[in-house]
Amino acid sequence: MPTSAERLAQSLQTLTALGDEAPRIFTQLYPDAAREAAQAADQRAARGLSLGPLDGKLVSVKDLLDVAGQVTTAGAAMRRSSAPAAQDAPVVQRLRAAGAVIVGKTNMTEFAFSGVGINPHFGTPGNAADVLRIPGGSSSGAGVSVGRGLVDIAIGSDTGGSVRIPAAFNGVTGFKPTQARVTRDGAFPLSHTLDALGPLARTVAECAAADSILAGDIPQPLPQRSLQGLRIGLPQGLPWTDCSEAVLSQTDNAVALLHAQGASIRKLPWQALMAAPSQLQSEGTLIAAEAAAIHQQALVYERDAFDPRVLSRMDKGRSLSAPYYIQLLLQRQQWMAKMDAAMQEVDLLLLPTIATTAPRIAPLLEDDSAFFAANALILRNTSIFNFYDLPAISLPLPRIAGSMPVGMMLVGARMQDRALLAMAAAAEQALANA
């Protein structure tokens, strides 16, 4: 089995061979520090010592997390000249303490404000399955770094789906925790109300181990969970509309497989619960309002430096009134209580992560209307569960030859993150054995 140092050398060699594509995936690389960390992990391993499941694992971090001595660009050209971070974000400190080998920072949508993954300043990384297609955002480089096998684990942020979307599009696993479990200190914000930090990896077990470290917990193996008798709900309504044939057929196949393994599948008449987040925010979103507040000065004095598509969405946030925003927050609390009560009926929810597979980059670069339509559809399903603050994971469905990756989303009860991960691991095993 290759050592951590050998795997790092292979990853860096691959990045070199990628040429111009490499800086579209990684905005910053830390080869010297990574080599030191990998060698230290290998020395521990040679002595039979381990700091835990992340010891010697190759890890990337999204470029909105502070790394000591480095500029946190958050995907924005205007931040290239910002002062370097004084210290690592707490989650980065925890990763280092767990023996993780931090390879570098990954590219992202400007200020994390899009699910597409296009960035006019740093370039757009091509999808791991087809470089002519979008990577998904906003954690675009994170999804590609895992999808291409450049790292074992990537740390992203998820405000409306920005971990689960690139995971689904790039054929990997992505986990959004219940927000309160992982500190967001040292992470450049998009929405104080909705931001969450989570991992992307090849397996549920790796996501679970990384999540434990991010949350400051001691990693433990996930409990074994059987699919027999597992109550899986399919929330009807919005999540299943306007889905591509590939997404629907592969999701249906997965549902049938889980049912054959003993899971109890039930369609849930939750049309109102699924539609409420978008209906309540029809005049403007919490994200837009809070982003406009965070970037208040730049929206006046540095307008030309923004990605125009990000600027237009933030401008909408500037026009929202304080009463509208406060009412949204109050209504959200009421609907969260309704959802928490409804979740008692099932063990988890199942639905498509995204309604479509990854579209091509070029048409979305050229046409604003096509971009915004794609962005809305891509974010639709995932953003529901940021609104309700429920833990959610995207699992890659078995690939059909010649097709693009499809993700299946599983959603658990609030603060029952470990239970969801255990159920997801059971589903993952069933899919792998299909």
pLDDT score at 282 = 97
Residues 195 and 240 in one domain: no
Residues 176 and 266 in one domain: no
- Structure confidence at residue 71 as a pLDDT band (50, 70, 90): very high
Q: Which two tokens stand for residue 151?
A: 């790292």
Phi, psi of 262 (to 5 degrees): 110, 0
Residues 299 and 268 in one domain: yes
Q: Which two tokens stand for residue 277?
A: 């987040």
CATH of the domain at 14: 3.90.1300.10
Look up 191 and say whether it is catalytic.
Answer: no
pLDDT score at 62 = 99
pLDDT at 80 > cutoff 90: yes
- Within a domain: residue 75? yes
Alpha-carbon 2 to chain mean position = 28
Look up 62 and say whether it is catalytic.
Answer: yes
Residue 396 β-bridge partners: 407
Residues 286 and 410 in one domain: yes
Q: Which residue among 11, 60, 138, 212 is the active-site one?
A: 138
Residues 9 and 35 in one domain: yes
Percent of the chain with pLDDT over 90: 99
Q: For residue range 258-278, list pLDDT tens digits in order.
A: 999 999 999 999 999 999 999
Alpha-carbon 335 to chain mean position = 24
Q: Which residue among 11, 157, 162, 394 is the active-site one?
A: 162
Give residues with Cβ within 8 angstroms of 304, minimum separation 6.
none
What's the Cα-to-Cα distance from 379 to each of 328, 355, 382, rounded to whole Å?
19, 9, 6
Residues 35 and 169 in one domain: yes
pLDDT score at 384 = 98
Residues 277 and 319 in one domain: yes
Report pTM: 0.98
Q: According to the 3-state scheme, what is the secondary structure of 113-163? A: CCCCCCCCCCCCCCCCCCCCECCCCCCHHHHHHHHCCCCCEEEEECCCCCC
Q: For residue range 287-318, list pLDDT tens digits in order.
A: 999 999 999 999 999 999 999 999 999 999 99
pLDDT score at 400 = 87
- Structure confidence at residue 203 as a pLDDT band (50, 70, 90): very high
Q: Which of 146, 180, 214 is the last residue of a domain?
A: 214
- Within a domain: residue 293? yes
Give the C-alpha separation, 147 to 165, whole Å. Answer: 13
- Structure confidence at residue 402 as a pLDDT band (50, 70, 90): confident
pLDDT at 182 > cutoff 80: yes
Q: How many domains does the chain have?
A: 2
Q: For residue range 319-329, list pLDDT tens digits in order.
A: 999 999 999 99
CB atoms within 10 A of CB 336: 15
Q: What angle do CA 426, 199, 251 make, to 5 degrees?
A: 45
Q: Which residue among 4, 60, 62, 145 is the active-site one?
A: 62
- End-to-end CA distance of the chain, in Å? 27
DSSP conformation class of 397: P
Task: Give the domain range for residue 334.
Answer: 231-432
Look up 394 and say whether it is catalytic.
Answer: no
Residues 245 and 193 in one domain: no
pLDDT at 434 > cutoff 80: no
The mean pLDDT value of the chain amounts to 98
- Buried b or exposed e, range 2-20, using 16+ CB within 10 angstroms: ebbbebbbebbeebeebee
